[in-house]
Amino acid sequence: MDQKSEDVPEKIPSEETTKGTDESGNSNQSMDNEDDLGNTNEIEGTHLSEKEQKSLEIIRKLVDEEGNVSRTLMEGNLLYGELGLTDIQMYNLVTSLENKDILKKIQLTDGEYYHFTP
């Protein structure tokens, strides 16, 4: 049983690094990684996964002057763009960003949009 409890922290460091915590004593490594990604994290006030950060970069390029982005345009770029997400991955990502109040679904006269508030 001792070996299993030692194996668990070895499998988690990648998750711990994304969370910014590292119980195995590699705090410098996790802090360095967080500093590299920290600009987005500081702006958001919440922690974002690597995919969420990459998706925010993509969404920022698509947003108009008012902070709105077409739902179909955004979802198409997430599905078929550089991230190449599956349908369920895209749905989970958008839902996560909605839960973190980064995206808000709105209805405009010409279709469904998301309001982007980083």
66 and 34 share a domain? no
Question: Could you tell me the CATH number of the domain that includes residue 95?
Answer: 1.10.10.10
Q: Is the same domain home to 13 and 66?
A: no
Residues 62 and 41 placed together within one structural domain of the fold? no
59-88 pLDDT, tens digit each: 999 999 999 999 999 999 999 999 999 999
How many domains, the chain?
Answer: 2
Instruction: List C-alpha distances in Å: 68 to 1, 60, 64, 77, 103.
Output: 53, 10, 6, 15, 9
- What residue numbers bound the domain in which 8 lies? 1-45
Q: Where are the alpha helices (DSSP H) in the chain?
A: 2-11, 13-19, 27-44, 50-62, 71-80, 87-99
Question: Cα–Cα distance between 73 and 39 in angstroms, integer?
Answer: 25
| More confident of the two residues 46 and 101 | 101
Q: Based on the domain organization, do 61 and 37 belong to the same domain? A: no
